[in-house]
Chain A
Amino acid sequence: MDAFALLIAATLNAGTVLAFAALGLLINERAGIVNLGAEGMMLVAAVAGYATAVHSGNDWLALAAGAAAGALMAAAFGLLVIWLNTNQYASGLALSLFGAGFSAFVGLPYTQEKLGERASYRIPGLADIPLVGPALFRQHPMVYAAIALTIALAWFLYRSRAGLVLRAVGESPESAHALGYSVRRIRLAAVMVGGALCGISGAYISVVYTPFWVEGMVAGKGWIALALTTFATWRPARVLLGAYLFGGVTMLQFQLQGEGVQIPSQFLTMMPYLATILVLVLISRNPNFIRVNMPASIGKPFFPGS
């Protein structure tokens, strides 16, 4: 039973990585922008976070550095797609390719570095409950932060005026513009917040989740997070559930490997990627269903006054 509790704990931890990135991308897409650069932003943020953790010894500073790196890269992307009207797919790809190269380049000295003893966390009292304690209450604070963020984002999108404006910008930038809202600034803000959240996710991987730095360590999690927003039909709570589901798939693979199941490890490593494809197939098979849920202006440029 203890093993089961640990599996749950590990699933929530792995899901947290995906949740931060996917919630960030959800904010982007709600404003009508698809950022295929998630993988690149997460890689650069992972290096930024790791370097900060190595030099300062402070994990929170490291997460902040990751957020800043993500936001900065997202800003560059945002200026391109929002002000220069470049193709969103191509620009996002450029960001991912650049991020992969840049992080490998900057991160090279850090592949040798090690982080100090990792802090362990426990919620007093609750952590000692058998089974439930080890499963739920001995997590890194960011695991709970992801849940809080999901609730906050759901409130923001559906209950606040600013959230309504954000959704309006994503559904019909022309109308939002006609009402006097600055579509471009709102989109840039959304893109940068999304980048910051992807950055937190990247830094969480290198500082808390793994923790070490190696070239290409994000290993497609940015792309899986992109798939999650579609899977969740652009709803925050479903994004979180989807993230845990994928966290579970990732952990199941280690669990099976640990139990010595006679499947070559490579096939187990394939699982999250195959699961992503499967999920995309299941959710997309009805085009109308996707069309109804998808922010209407997604991927389309908006040029005021043209």
Chain B
Amino acid sequence: MLKLETRPSPSRAMSLASPLLALAITVVIGTVLFVLLGKDPLRGLEVFFVEPVKSVYALTELAVKATPLILIGLGLALCFRSNVWNIGAEGQFIVGAIFASGVAMQADASTGRWIVVVVIVAGAVGGMAWAGIVAFLRDRFNANEILVSLMLVYVADQLLGYLVYGPWKDPAGYNFPQTITFLKATQIPKLFTGYRVNIGLLLALAAVGAFWLLLFRTYAGFQLQVGGLAPAAARYAGFSSRKALWLALLLSGGMAGLAGGLEVAGPLGQLTPHVPAGYGFAAIIVAFVGRLHPVGVVFSAILMSMFYIGGELAQSRLGLPKSLTGVFQGLLLFTLLACDTLIVYRLRWKPAHAAKPTPVLKPKEGV
């Protein structure tokens, strides 16, 4: 029978091969799914993997969706490396969008382009504030950050609903739950005319560099990682776990909020109940598939963005539900975690009756 055997040291190669293996398995399962649904599997794969990169326009749309995923994914990668489980990025994204909208709505005809900077900063501050609640409750009251950050997603969603159905509703909007369309001055500058992709992409790429430096070239980043890998060692070295908690949550919250701000003042141009598009949750997958590494996050964000666009195309071209995106995203993370086992262990074929290799304890259990 197949047995798992601990490798002498974790395999670096496998750590990079694992996401590809997981993607391959997900594609195989996807192909089977298309056949079961009576759709041409080749057409299905084309919609997910070819069409999103087929033209310049398609590529820019890919970048539009990858931008928030990179931003949030970077923050979460840092968080997970520090063993802080912020899974409420979606809520921090929403509050970032709310803060940014609050600023954008103040603009009038005489407002200069400088307001864009304030809009972006407001977004980041909003996300930080929302994640700050999680940090405070964890730090002060030891409340589980997984559950608190997730509960705050629902709270943020309701807060958004309250604003767009209530005080922020556009009086001239035919009673639709949405704010006014933000004035031109508040629009995030686009990179090229005719395409939706904006300077958010440049911010995201700059953030990749900044996070790489922070994680791998600064003392603070080193402290974070030690705290995540070996809390006892970090304590012994005198690294403050409280500082790490606050830093990880404020940074990841700020990034999610920034993404939210860029989204409302960029492609969307107004605040609506449809602002939360699941980027905060998809970014969890982005972070893991990207190996919690800033550069890896870029690649996995592009992949996840293909899933988003593929899902939309599958709906319009093949008549399949858009939620296919979620199925594939979930599958990818699930298979990735399974494949990651091969980083630390290797598979060995062992006849069931062969001598047991590890004479530690009573080796009673079979695998």
Contacts and interface: CB of A to CB of B under 8 A. Distances in A.
Say whether A and B bind each other.
Answer: yes
A276 B151 contact: yes
Contact of B362 (A91, A180, A215): A180
Contact of B158 (A76, A180, A184, A269): A269
B341 A89 contact: no
A306 B323 contact: no
A97 B337 contact: no
A87 B146 CA distance: 14
Interface residues of A, number: 58
Nearest to B5: A306
A220 B151 contact: yes
B258 interface: no
Interface in A121-145: none
B151 A101 contact: no
Interface string A77-89: 0001001111101
Given A276-B147, A287-B142, A264 B162 contact: yes
Nearest to B136: A281
B143 A284 contact: yes
Contact of A227 (B4, B147, B345): B147
Interface stretch (B60-68, B186-194, B326-334): B326-334
A231 to B, nearest CB: 10
Contacts of A97: 281, 284-285, 326, 329-330, 333
Contact of B337 (A91, A270, A281): A91
Which one of B143, B340, B360, B361 has the highest number of Cβ atoms from chain A below 10 Å of its Cβ?
Answer: B143
B333 A281 contact: no
A183 B365 contact: yes
A284 B334 contact: no
Contacts of B166: 264, 266
A161 interface: no
A180 B363 CA distance: 9
A212 interface: no
A280 interface: yes
A177 B288 CA distance: 32
Contacts of B144: 227, 230, 280, 284
Contacts of B363: 304-305
A273 interface: yes
Contacts, number: 168
Interface in B185-228: none
A50 B4 CA distance: 40
Nearest to B160: A266
Interface in A30-52: 36, 40
Contacts of A91: 334, 337
A139 B200 CA distance: 55
Residue in A100, A101, A224, A226 with the greatest tally of chain B CB atoms within 10 Å? A101
Nearest to A104: B323
Chain B interface category by residue count: 35 or more
A95 interface: yes
Nearest to B165: A266
B330 A99 contact: yes
B231 interface: no
B323 A304 contact: no
A87 B284 CA distance: 14
A152 interface: no
Contacts of A40: 330
A285 B140 CA distance: 8
B367 A83 contact: yes
B360 A86 contact: no
Interface string A260-282: 00001011011001101100110
Contacts of B333: 90, 93-94, 97-98
Interface string B123-155: 000000000000001001111101110111011
A19 B152 CA distance: 22
A85 B341 contact: yes
Nearest to A279: B143
Contacts of A280: 137, 141, 143-144, 147-148
Contacts of A226: 147
Contact of B85 (A89, A269, A276, A304): A89
A98 B334 CA distance: 8
A280 B327 CA distance: 31
Given A264-B166, A266-B162, A102 B361 contact: no
Contacts of A98: 326-327, 329-331, 333-334
Contacts of A105: 321, 323-324, 326-327
B147 to A, nearest CB: 5
Interface string A53-66: 00000000000000
Interface of A: 36, 40, 76, 80, 83-87, 89-91, 93-95, 97-102, 104-105, 108, 174, 177-178, 180, 182-184, 215, 219-220, 223-224, 226-227, 230, 264, 266-267, 269-270, 273-274, 276-277, 280-281, 284-287, 290, 304-306
Interface of B: 4, 6, 85, 87, 137, 140-144, 146-148, 150-152, 154-155, 158-159, 161-162, 165-166, 281, 284-285, 288, 321, 323-331, 333-334, 337-338, 340-341, 344-345, 356, 358, 360-365, 367
5 contacts: A101-B326, A102-B330, A183-B365, A270-B158, A284-B141
